[in-house]
Structures are given as C-alpha cells and as structure tokens.
Structure 1
Amino acid sequence: KHLVGVEEYVRTEKAKLGKLSVAERNTLIAFGVTVTLWIVPGIVAIIAGTESSTYETVSGRLDEGIVAILGASLLFLLPTKWEDREFTLRWSDAAKIDWGTVVLFGTGIIFGSLLESSGLAETLGNGASDRLGLTSVFAITVFAVILAIVVSETTSNTASAAVVVPIIIPIAMAADVNPFVPALAATFAASFGFMLPVSTPQNAVVYGSGTVPITTMIRTGASFDVIGAILIVIFLPVMASMVGLV
C-alpha cells in the first residue's frame, strides 16, 4: 500500500541531514573496523577449522573485549581537524558518559560468570533440590523457573541459561522425569530479570537515566517476574504437549 507523502518526507529529512561530517565518517570507520575484527575469528574458523593453530592464534589475539577497546580507542586517534589537533572523541566528551552504569552492568556480568566458573550456582541449585525433594515434572519446572529468574537478575539471559539448564537436567534425570519441559522453562525464564539494573543493558540504561528509582524498579520488576513465572509454569507444558514435544 502506497502512503502519500512518505517519500517526500523522507527526502526532506534526508536533505536536512546534509553530507556526512568528518566525525561521522570517522565513527563509521571505527565501527567498521570493530565489527570486521569481531567476525574475523569466525571466518578463520570456517576456513581453517576450530582446531587449527591459526584459529587459536587469531581468536586469542582478537578477543571481543580487546577489539571493543581498540574500536573505542580509534575515536580518540582519528582526527577531525588535524591542524588544530582535534579528534573525533575528546576526553571531555568521554567524561560525560555515565560510567557508573557501565561499571554496574560490567560487575553484574562478572558476578554471573563467577557463579558459573566457581561452581556456586550448581552447588546452590543441587543443594536446594536435595532439600526440597523434587520428584515431579511440575515441581522441577517451578524450581527451574525460580532459579533461572534469580540468576538472570545478576547476569545476562545467555549466561543464565548456560548456568541453570545444566543444573536442571541432572536433577530431572535423577528424579526419573523427562527433563525437556524443566530445561525449556529455565531457558524461557532466563530471559527475565526485570528487578535490577545489572539484569539487562536495557535496565541499566533506564536506571542510569535517573528517572526510575531502584525501589520502583525492584517493585515493578518483581511483579513482572512473578507474572512471567506463572505463565511459563501454566502454559509451557500445555504448549509442549500440543506440539508433541512431550
């Protein structure tokens, strides 16, 4: 369906933008270099294989964190007006970044990684399971959802799923029940995490704006967590049965 006036509006707005400035071109260069270096290890893996020494060398040198720092550093090095020694990004500009939010989210990622690498998450999960005496699919599913939501409050959804799912599967198998539904429930619940700024980048951005107090975020996030947990526990087994997964 053709919308009258849309093309003209787009042309007008595009004309207002004008040509790319030097700073904008430099930003595109830094972005392009960063993305390229991020995907180089994957390309090398496809060509040479993940077991090759070339891949190990490249992936070791081009760590995602190192590449990100390199890309950000380029903004301090690419000039916009060399004769005046002006660069794309100055420290006075960088100082305006909400570093508190960045550090807050970073510590959340570190904490989540330590939960997995130290084995604390597995110990807590197995200990709670033993004390609760979980023996049914429903009970294990409820436990999986609660555990995944709690872990997701401290780290990303990917890390939460990586921590919780390997805990839930052995618990279900030990109880002689199909681990599919509990594991899938944990995967869905790992995408929750509405209570704390460290749960997701979106939460961190909202909290960093200063307009949402931490008490409001916790209170509202807890409501969403509870509602989401109930929906998963009720509807996931039904949906799995309807599509023949269990």
Structure 2
Amino acid sequence: MLSCLTTLRNFRTLLQLTVPLLLFLPLPVAVQTKASYCGFIVLLMAVYWCTEVIPLAVTSLLPILLFPMFGIMSSQDVCKEYLQDTSVFFLGGLMVATAIEHWNLHKRIALRALLLVGVKPAFLMLGFMGVTAFLSMWISNTASTTMMVPIAQAVLHQLSNSKEEAENTEKSHSSANDIDLETKCSSVDVGVTDVYPSPTPASLHHGSVDDMALAEISKAPEENMNLSVITTEPKDKPGKMKMYKCLTLCVCYAASIGGTATLTGTPANLILKGQINQIYPDNDEVINFATWFGFSFPNMLIILFLCWIRLQILFLGMNFRELWGWGIPVSSKEKRAHGVIEKEYIQLGPMTFAEKAVLTLFCLLVILWFTREPGFIPGWGTVLFDKNGTTYVSDATVAVLIAVLMFMIPSRKPNFTPGNQNQESSKENLTVMNLPINKLLNWVTVQRKLPWNVVLLLGGGFALAKGCEVSGLSQQLGEQLLPLQKIPHWAIAVTLCLAIAIFTECTSNVATATLFLPILASMATSIQMNPLYVLIPATLSTSFAFMLPVATPPNAIVFSYGHLKVSDMARAGFLLNLIGVATVTLAINTWGRLMFNLDTFPTWANVTRK
C-alpha cells in the first residue's frame, strides 16, 4: 500500500494534468458544438487554476491555444483580449505603487500613524489595522503585510519582555541593519510566489496574486528587523502569546479587507470592471474608481471595525477599560514600545524631495480619478474630452499619465545655482552635479517588481468570458438558471457570497472571480436581475479568505512567524467570513441599492435583445 502511494506521489503532476483532460474529454466528443467545446476549456482551466499544477499565468494562456483549435475564436481575436483598458489601468496603478514602495513613502506613513494612535493594546491594534488597510488600498497586500509585521514584532517584543531583557536585546542588536523593506516588498496583489521561511509551496499561490513579492522576502528574512525579535517567545506565554496572535492576525486580515476599498486594491475588483465592460459594452461605465470607492470604502470600514472588535474579544477578552487604557497610566513597557516606533521613524530622516514628489503625484492621481466621472455631476473627462456621447478618457488614461510623469521627474531637487557661485560650496555642488540624476521611477525597478503574471491572469479571464459569449455558452447557462427567478434576489446574493467565500479559501481570488463572474452575469441577465446586485457582492467575497494560512499571501506571511496555529486562524476567520458576507449583504441592500439603482433591470444589461 505504501509503495502504491509513493508511486502516485511521484506521478502526481502527470496525473493532475491528464486526469481532468480525460475526465472532461467526452463533453466535446459527444456534443460537437462551440458551446460544448468552450465548456470543456472552461472546466479544464478551472481545475488547473484550482490545483495549480501549472502556474496560474500559464493556464491563462490556454485560450490562445485552444480557442483557435476548436474553432471558437481566431487567434487574432483572442489575443486582443489580453491587454484591454482594464489591464492598462492595473499596470498604471501598480507603477505608482512601485514608486511609493521604492522611496519608502509607505513606511513613513505607517510609522507616523502608529505614533499618533499610541500603544494601548486596543489602539495599537487599531493603528496597525488602519495603516495596513490604508496601504493595501494602494499597494499590494503582500507588500503592506511584509512591512507591517516586523514592526509589530518589535513592538510586541518590548511589550512582553522585562526592562532588563529589552535593554540587553537592544544593546546586542545595536549594530544590526535597520529595516529595509524596499528591497523585500514587491508590488503585486493579487496572487503570486515564495514565502518567508515558506510554509508550503501551495501557500504561495493561494492568494490574491502576490507570489513575486513573497519570493523576494524569502531571499533574506534575517535582514527584516532584528531576527531575535521575530523568533523570541514572550516570557509569560499564556497572556502574551494571545497578544502576539491578535496583533499578527489583525495585520493580515486588514491587508485583505483594505484591498476591497479601491479598484486597484486587488485584481479581483479589476476583473469585475473588465467583465462588465466586456459583457455589457453599453453600461456607461457604471463601475469606475469613484463609484466603486463610494460603495466599497464604507463597507470596508464597517468590516474593519467589526474585525477589530472580534479579535479583541477572542484573544484579549472583554475588559475594554484595560484594553483601551481608560484611566490607566502608560507603563514602562508601553513607553519602550512607543520608543521602538519613534526610533524607526527618526531613522527615516527628513522627507526627501523624491518622497514629496511621489506623494504629490499620488494625491494628484487620486484627485483625477475621483473627479473624472464622479457620477452626481459632470467630471473633467466629460467636460474636456468626451464628445458626441463617446468616452475618450478612462481611469487608465489617468494612471498612465502619472506613471509617465514619474519616469520623467528627477528624484533630486534641481539645482539652478551655478556650481562656482561661492568657494565654500563649490566642492559640494561639483559632487552633486557629478552624481547620476535618477528619476522617481526607472524601468529596472518596474520590471523587477511588477506582477506581470497578473496581467496574463486578467487577460485570460477576459478571453475566457469572450469565448463563452461568442460560443453561446453564456446564453445556454443563463437559460438553465431561469428557475432561479422564483427565489428572492437577496437570497441568491447571500448564497452566492457564502459559496464564493468558501471556494476562495483554497483558490486564488483572481481565479475565483474569473470563473464565477461570467456565469453570474449570464444568470442575472436571464432572470432579469440587475447584474450589479450579484456581481459586486460576489467580487468582494473573493477577498474574504480569513480561515487558512494558504488562503492568501498575507495569511501565509504571518503564519510563517510561528506564533499561530491553523486552529487559531480558522477560529478567528470563520466568524469574520460570516461578518464579511453579512456586511456586504447589508451594503448592497442599502446604499448600494441607491447608488446603482438596483431595483430595476437596466437597459444596458439586456444584451439578449442584441
């Protein structure tokens, strides 16, 4: 028996490749229609995406190979789907995020915010969660988690050790290198490769597409903030280990929750935008940066607050007076913990010209995104560029504009003073003038940090959706789902959200969104339901992966530090999954119903009449 299992293990990859192929092959053989051919390809890609027997991005290339072979679409038409407006929007946003990470601006923002909230247990948690969620709105979930966890470990070390131990540790590591997360974080989110000490190979891929960042983290974990801080166990384990678990979990959960607030926060959100634009081309851009933020940001705040309360009760108890520090003086341990954060902030030095320039461009980017088409008034895009009902400018245009400016603006403040104006400064000016003038962003950094595999994932999803439409598979699926008309719409939405939240625990959120959204769009069209009523909650539910270490790269990162057990994460994450689904259901049935007019079936969704 053991020898048989060993043989199967040796041929596991071959079996994972061939068994789905042989299992689904009768479908196109028995029913020789374009719809059945496309169904075979969808099922095959779904299994490959779930098992990751080959890389996710490679699976995404299968439509280019199989659609022409089965006569569904020509190669030229399939390849056009791989770089749409949504993909360019994603690339431009990630280039800006790469510049933020490259100049350590995200670290400065994080440390400054932590100094403001203080180190009382509850507020320390709130500070870490708020900062991580905010950063995850703009940079990858992996990068924000990778930066925040070592800082949390250092603070926890000061809170858990005695004064003598803390002083000895500080002295023994006074010569250690400071945190340099710029070289260990890559901007990705979205699902993608090796983890810290590395839990398991599978855990590197079951997330929002952040593997490349994790690969860089694993190269030099010992450089991430004094290693002893990472591995030191607190002395009074029963009480302090709960604080370790609580604070590390709040970081990874906040990273996943924060990514839901913006379109660029996670690729699943961009997949929704791309699928809507493709399936419903006359939707008048119902989903853009401003409308998505208006709906998702309040929802994110509610989930984040409930997560904060839930983790406090689960790990720290219900003594809110002690946790929140009401009437309790600051202890020496808390002062030392505050000192750790303050020291890291001071070591950053004054804000450089490059940081100021990146911050200015980032703020300009957000303002332009919000005001291009705010919805309640004509935006600058409509007033200045759109003519005769044609939209010429999109969110991708703005993202590319800011990214291009970052490749042009120098990272040093231009010096227009002649170098020999005075003898005292001539040597200094000459030295500065001889230094190479770098830009805010360079192609080497972009090439190294950008998750190019995610672009292929997005394109593969768009190609798959187009193939389903062209082959007639979408229409057939919609007809099979007509009996759902008798079920209340809210019940359909809740059931789908629960199913997707479970499914995404073991599958990349990008793959989950790619597989489910076209099917749900067909269902909504067939039963005359506003597609946004199911597509938006379903997309948000792909980010509710809180129960398993392999569910997302942030989960895997915090689990790799050794403070957590799988049971800890499952116990905390199960209720958070339910909280997430309940909150999304509340949001879509309250302000979401008003924002998107969900009580009516829009004319742009009636694609069957065309």
Please give the TM-score of this superposition, normalised by the length of structure 2.
0.25
Corresponding residue for residue 22 of structure 1: 353
> In the alignment, is residue 167 of structure 1 matched against residue 529 of structure 2?
no
**How many angstroms apart in 1 are the aligned matches of 2:485 and 2:356?**
60
Corresponding residue for residue 32 of structure 1: 363
Q: 1:11 to 1:121 in 2, by over 3 A?
A: farther
Cα deviation, residue 90, structure 1: 1.6
Q: How does 1:33-182 map to 2 (within 5 A)?
A: 33-42=364-373, 46=377, 54=384, 56=386, 60-81=391-412, 83=433, 84-107=436-459, 110-111=462-463, 114=466, 122-129=474-481, 137=487, 145=495, 149=500, 153-155=512-514, 160=517, 164=520, 167-168=523-524, 171=527
**How many angstroms apart in 2 are the aligned matches of 1:40 and 1:119?**
39
Q: How does 1:4-15 map to 2 (within 5 A)?
A: 4=330, 5=334, 8-9=338-339, 10-15=341-346
Cα deviation, residue 117, structure 1: 7.6
Q: 1:106 to 1:8 in 2, by over 3 A?
A: same
**How many angstroms apart in 1 are the aligned matches of 2:521 and 2:487?**
15
Q: 1:78 to 1:153 in 2, by over 3 A?
A: same
Cα deviation, residue 191, structure 1: 3.3
Cα deviation, residue 31, structure 1: 0.8
Structure with higher helix content: 1
> In the alignment, is residue 191 of structure 1 matched against residue 540 of structure 2?
yes
Identity of aligned residues (%): 17
Where structure 1 has 5 or more consecutive residues not aligned to the other structure, the ranges are 174-178, 195-202, 210-223, 241-246
SS of 2:411 mapped into structure 1: strand
* AA matched with 2:365: T
Pick 1 or 2: higher relative contact order, CA cutoff 8 A, min separation 6.
2
Q: Is the 8 A contact 1:152 1:193 kept in 2?
A: no
Q: 1:154 to 1:190 in 2, by over 3 A?
A: closer
Q: Is the 8 A contact 1:76 1:87 kept in 2?
A: yes
**How many angstroms apart in 2 are the aligned matches of 1:137 and 1:16?**
60
* AA matched with 2:481: S
Cα deviation, residue 164, structure 1: 2.9
* AA matched with 1:42: E
SS of 1:126 mapped into structure 2: helix
SS of 1:56 mapped into structure 2: coil
Cα deviation code 1:33-90 (max 9, x no counterpart): 211221222369626799x755735x94541011111222222111024642311122
Cα deviation code 1:97-133 (max 9, x no counterpart): 2433331343256347748986967514323225xx5
Please give the TM-score of this superposition, normalised by the length of structure 1.
0.52
SS of 1:191 mapped into structure 2: helix
Cα deviation, residue 91, structure 1: 1.6
Q: 1:156 to 1:122 in 2, by over 3 A?
A: closer
**How many angstroms apart in 2 are the aligned matches of 1:145 and 1:99?**
33
Where structure 2 has 5 or more consecutive residues not aligned to the other structure, the ranges are 1-325, 415-432, 504-509, 544-550, 558-573, 590-610
**How many angstroms apart in 2 are the aligned matches of 1:107 and 1:122?**
18
Q: 1:156 to 1:145 in 2, by over 3 A?
A: same
SS of 2:481 mapped into structure 1: helix
Q: 1:43 to 1:101 in 2, by over 3 A?
A: same
